[in-house]
Amino acid sequence: MTRPILVNGFKAAMVTHTSAGLWRHPDSRARRYRELDFWIETARTLERFDFDALFIADSLGAADVYQNSPDQALREGLQTPSADPSLAISAMAAVTERLGFGLTLNTSFNRPYELARRLSTLDHFTDGRIGWNVVTGLVPSAMAGLGIDPAVSHDERYDIAEEFMEVVYRLWEGSWADDAVIADVASGVYVEPRRVRPIEHHGRYFDVTGIHLAEPSPQRTPLIFQAGSSARGKRFSARHAEVVFVSAQRPDVLRRTVDDIRAQAAEAGRDPGSLRFISTLTVVTGETEREAQAKHEEYLRLTSVEGNLARLASTIQVDFGAVDLDEPLEFAETPGIQSVLANFTKLDPSRRWTPRQVAEYMALAGFGPFVVGSPAQVADELERWCEQAGIDGFNLVDIIPGQSFREFGELVMPELVARGRRPDPASGKTGLTLRERIFGGGMARVRDDHPAARHRYPDDDAIG
C-alpha cells in the first residue's frame, strides 16, 4: 500500500520568511505575525484541511551579514522584527485536535534542564502533539547578543548538541517512572518519591544533577525533527532524527542525501526505514494551469533579488554584497548552513550557479521544489518527488500568508485524497500524538532502537 504523503505548513514568526518582497502583496497577511489571532486562524486553517503539522522555523539574531549590516534585512522585514513562536503554540493547540506543532529550539542558546521542562509542558498542553526541530546555531549576531563565544566551530556545535541530547533524554525518559504519579486522595500523596530519581550527568559541556521537573508527558521525548545536511549534520540526523528536513533543486540530487542518512542510521543501529524525510516545497496553484501561471507572474513582480541575497548571506554566512554576483560559486567551509551552499556547488555537477542566479531562483522557490500549476499538475509533481527522491512529504511554504495554505487545502488536498495519497479529512482521528500521526497508532513514544530509549526508567522496581 502506498504511504500517504505528509504535508506540513511551514512558517516563521516574522514578516519575511522565504520570499523577500511578497509581504507587499495585497492578499498577504504577513504583517499580522505579531497578532495571536493570526496564529489561531492559521492553525484552524491547517486543521480544517487536515495538514499533519505546523513546522515553525526560527532564527534568533539579526541577518546582518549582507554588506556587513542589518539594513537590507530590516528593509525586507527579514528575521527582524520577529516574535517567539513558542508562545503561540498553546493557543493554537486549544483550537485544534489533530494538528501537530514542530518547534525550532537551539542547543547552543538554551540549557537542557530548562528546555526539557518547556517541551514536556508543551507536550502536556498539546496532548502529545509537539515536535522539536533540533538546531545547533547559525547567526553570530545572536551569539553576540547572548554573550556566547562566536568562535565555536560548526562541528563543535554538533558535539555540544550530542551531549545536550544525552541530558534531555535522561530527563525525559529516565527520571520518572510511568507509575510515579499516583494522585492518591486518601493518603494525600500525589507523587510516589521512590519512583522518581535524579539524573547525574557530568560531561564536557554540561553538568546536570537533579530530577526532571515535569511528570511524564504523552510522548515523553517529543518527536525529533532535524535538518542538518552537512557531513556532521547527517551523522547527527542519523543518530537522533525521527523526521529529517531536507532540500535540493532536483529529486535525484536529494535522493543521494536521503540514501546517505538512511545508511548512516543503519550503521548507528537504527532501522533506516523508520526515518521520515520531508522537503521544503513552494506551490503556486489555481483552478487551472493558466490561473496558476498568472499568479506566478504577479508574485515575481513583487520579489526582491537584493532581499533574497541578504537571506542567502545570512543562511550561509557569506557576504554576497562583497563578491562578484556573476562569478560562479565555489564550496567552502562556512559557519552557516553548509548544505545550502553544497546544493548549489557540489551536489549537481551539471550546473554552476552564480550568486545572482541563486537569488533569482530563491525569489519564490527557496531551496527546494517549486511547483506552478493546476491541482493535478501539483499532485503529479509531489508524487514524482516522493518516488524519485525517496522522501515522505513536504513542508509547504506560506508564501502569501492567509492565502497559500487555504488554496493548497482547497485545491490540492482533495486531489491527493482522490489519489489515495492523503487520508480523507472526514475520517481523521483525534487523540493521536504527533509521533502516532506520523508513524501510526501505538507509536506514542520513541522506538526501541532510538538513542533516547536507552535511558528509559527500569521496570524492575515497579510499585506492587
Give Cα 131 distance to the centre of its chain: 9
Provide the residue ranges of all domains of the chain, joining segments of one domain with +. Answer: 6-61+77-171+215-287+369-455
Q: Report whether pLDDT(346) > 70.
A: no
d(C-alpha 457, C-alpha 194), whole Å:
12
Q: What is the pLDDT of residue 169?
A: 98
Average confidence (pLDDT) over 355-359 = 75
Q: Report whether pLDDT(363) > 80.
A: no
Q: Report whether pLDDT(403) > 90.
A: yes
- Percent of the chain exceeding pLDDT 70 equals 92
Q: Name every residue whose Cβ is closer than 8 Å to that of residue 189 and which is 6 or more positions away in sequence.
A: 182
Q: Report whether pLDDT(335) > 80.
A: no
Average confidence (pLDDT) over 249-275 = 95
Contact 175, 198 (CB under 8 A): yes
Mean pLDDT of the chain: 90
Q: What is the pLDDT of residue 347?
A: 59
Per residue in 101-112, pLDDT (tens digit) is 999 999 988 999
Per residue in 264-281, pLDDT (tens digit) is 999 999 999 999 999 999
Q: What is the pLDDT of residue 373?
A: 98
CA terminus-to-terminus distance, the chain = 44
Average confidence (pLDDT) over 235-263 = 94
Per residue in 148-175, pLDDT (tens digit) is 777 678 889 999 999 999 999 999 999 9
d(C-alpha 223, C-alpha 311), whole Å:
28
Q: Report whether pLDDT(330) > 50.
A: yes
Q: Name every residue whose Cβ is closer than 8 Å to that of residue 87 and which is 6 or more positions away in sequence.
A: none
Q: What is the pLDDT of residue 391?
A: 97
Q: Which residue has the higher pLDDT, 303 or 387?
A: 387
Average confidence (pLDDT) over 359-381 = 87
Q: What is the pLDDT of residue 52?
A: 97
pTM: 0.92
Only one residue has cell 557531513, namely 231
Superfamily of domain 6-61+77-171+215-287+369-455: Luciferase-like domain (3.20.20.30)
Query: Among residues 397, 313, 356, which one has the least CA distance to residue 62?
Result: 313
Listed as own residue / partner, the contacts of 375-380 with beta carbons closer than 8 Å and 24 or more positions apart are 375/285, 375/287, 375/411, 375/412, 375/414, 375/415, 376/415, 377/289, 377/292, 378/283, 378/285, 378/411, 378/412, 378/415, 379/412, 379/415, 379/416, 379/419, 379/421
Q: What is the pLDDT of residue 62?
A: 87
Q: What share of the chain is helix, strand, coil (3-state, %, to 5)?
A: 45, 15, 40
Average confidence (pLDDT) over 60-84 = 89
Average confidence (pLDDT) over 419-432 = 86
Average confidence (pLDDT) over 59-78 = 87
Q: What is the pLDDT of residue 332?
A: 58
Q: What is the pLDDT of residue 464?
A: 42
Q: What is the pLDDT of residue 337?
A: 63
**Which of 258-262, 353-357, 450-454 bottoms out in mean pLDDT, i.e. has the lowest?**
353-357
d(C-alpha 38, C-alpha 88), whole Å:
10
Q: What is the pLDDT of residue 360?
A: 74
d(C-alpha 328, C-alpha 336), whole Å:
19
Average confidence (pLDDT) over 388-409 = 97
DSSP track, 153-194: -HHHHHHHHHHHHHHHHHHHHHSB-TT-EEEETTTTEEE-GG
**Which of 296-305, 332-341, 368-377 bottoms out in mean pLDDT, i.e. has the lowest?**
332-341
C-alpha cell recorded at residue 144? 553576540
Q: What is the pLDDT of residue 339?
A: 61
Measured at the alpha carbon of residue 256, what is the angle toward residues 252 and 258, in degrees to the nearest 5?
A: 110
Angle between the N-to-C axes of helices 231-240 and 154-174, in degrees from 0 to 180, rounded to the nearest 10 = 10
Q: Report whether pLDDT(405) > 70.
A: yes
DSSP-assigned letter for residue 458: P
- In this prediction, residue 282 has a pLDDT band, given cuts at 50, 70 and 90, of very high
Q: What is the pLDDT of residue 463?
A: 46
Q: Report whether pLDDT(456) > 70.
A: yes
